[in-house]
A and B are shown apart, each in its own frame.
Chain A
Amino acid sequence: MKKIVIALFLISISLLQAQDVLISKTSKVHFFSSTPLENIEASSTQSVSAINKKTGEVTISIPIRSFKFEKALMQEHFNENYMESEKYPNASFKGKITNISAVDFSKDGTYKVSVMGDLNIHGVAKTRTIEAIITITNGEVTATSKFKVPLEDHKITKPQIVFTNIADIIDVDVTFGYSVYVKK
């Protein structure tokens, strides 16, 4: 009898663990480079993100090939010459929401959070602390953030000839819509 109770106890612990994880159902990652000569922007809706509600752990994976540009040649150059997406197919972020205890996932509301972790773009990781906003509406969790990425941080080089067409610091904004992770 005792064994069965403990067995059930152990099983229920592992079930609780899975419910702590939120997985993204919708995503939008958008970046914008503005210079007097040219504006460059693209969006991707094929990123995936997971949050551990209890520990505040955050993981995001962004496939570089999924960024859509208005100019086909720009998309080709972005992948082939700047991001080298054949070598580095994904940009990623792995970190932690430092003030996760301030977020009450059971109550609707808007929470300002600070996320600290490694942002890896073009194969180069940089430790960043990024501000984000977690919004809970009718139990649905959405996270948004706006931050800047200096090209230099991730060894993304631009050739002399288009030096003035591309900004040194890129504006990035992300939006993720989450739901509870259910293991298939």
Chain B
Amino acid sequence: MLRSSFLGFVFSFFGAFSQVDSSSTLIISDTASQVVESQPDLDAIIESERIKSVDHSYTYATFKGTKIINGHSIESPAAGVLQFIIYHRFSDATQGLYDIFGLDGARVRMGFDYGISRRLSVGYGRTSDQKTFDGYVKYKILMQTDDDAMPVSLVGVLGTAIRTDRALSAYNIDFAHRMSYLYQAMIARKFSSSFSVQLTPTVVYTNLVNTPDDKNLLPALGMGGRLKISKRTAINVEYFAKMPKSTHASVKNVVAVGVDIETGGHVFQLHLTNTQSMIEELFLPFNTNDFLKGQVNLGFNISRVFTVNKKAVNKYN
């Protein structure tokens, strides 16, 4: 008797507040069950109090290296981090065992990249190909975030290269003729932990070109992708398509395909590519190897990072 009157009062209490129609029964049973359970849901409370800014974190590791293979990627060392790099390209295997399938004819680029802030980094290197010194500045204009509030990364590169090869002195040239300039605006997106894509609209301006068919201003479109195949390895593909009729017919587009292996503080990239030059200022205007004709070189990139400025790391973390 007491219980039924209690329930009666419960229903009438809620009945006083809800409309008398078909939906009212649902409201009554829902609120009645809440009264009966009356335990605060800690999980729901935690969820509502969650600090949302974590979702807004910047996406890391769109690519594992600061170069996809030959060309720049949107990545750069973190603030306060110095990255040493050694890039190697062997010759093609057409001479067979005589030159150990091209191992004898190696070209090297050694240099470093340094992260100044979260968005700004600089780099310097020297390539044995035409004895070229190069430097660049890379700036992350837009950075992709984990919650897709920013769905892509947009990174700009401004570079300069100087070809100090003595062979160029044969042509009566000024020092300024040895210089080339690089302008890039890379757009990339990390679609998932295992798949990233990048588009690299590029312009290289070469002060001294080889033939009248070669234009000083050379626009090109680079495209690259990364597919992770295990926890620490990935396959990379890269292709640079030059604007048609901007170079002599002997200059070919650049193709590269390779594997990334990451261990501790090193990234190893092993790849096959038609160009022996490792910077855009060289491989876009001067590469005459044809990938489809098998004029392909084995190459590798090695990078090693060191944290040199702990204050900068903490400031931008």
Interfacial residues, chain A to chain B (CB-CB below 8 A): 2-3, 6-7, 10, 13-14, 17-18, 20-21, 23-24, 46, 48-50, 52, 55, 57-61, 63, 65-66, 68-73, 75-76, 79-81, 86-87, 94, 159, 161-162, 165, 181, 184
Contacts and interface: CB of A to CB of B under 8 A. Distances in A.
B39 A59 contact: no
Given A14-B38, A52-B42, A80 B193 contact: yes
Contact of A73 (B16, B53, B305): B305
Contacts of B54: 46, 63, 65-66
Pick the 4 closest A-B CB pairs, nearest first: A72-B78, A59-B42, A63-B54, A7-B13
Contacts of B25: none
A80 B40 contact: no
A105 to B, nearest CB: 16
A72 B12 CA distance: 62
Nearest to A11: B13
A76 B61 contact: yes
Interface of B: 6, 9-10, 12-13, 16, 34-35, 38-40, 42-43, 45-51, 53-54, 57, 60-61, 77-81, 146, 193, 231-232, 263-265, 305, 307, 310, 313-314, 317
Nearest to B228: A80
B50 A48 contact: yes
A70 B314 contact: yes
Contacts of B13: 3, 6-7, 10
Given A23-B49, A48-B46, A65 B38 contact: no
22 contacts: A3-B13, A6-B13, A14-B35, A17-B40, A21-B40, A46-B53, A46-B54, A48-B51, A49-B46, A55-B39, A59-B42, A59-B45, A63-B51, A66-B54, A68-B314, A70-B307, A70-B313, A76-B60, A86-B193, A94-B43, A159-B231, A165-B264
Nearest to A44: B54
Contacts of A57: 42
A184 B49 CA distance: 10
Contacts of A49: 46
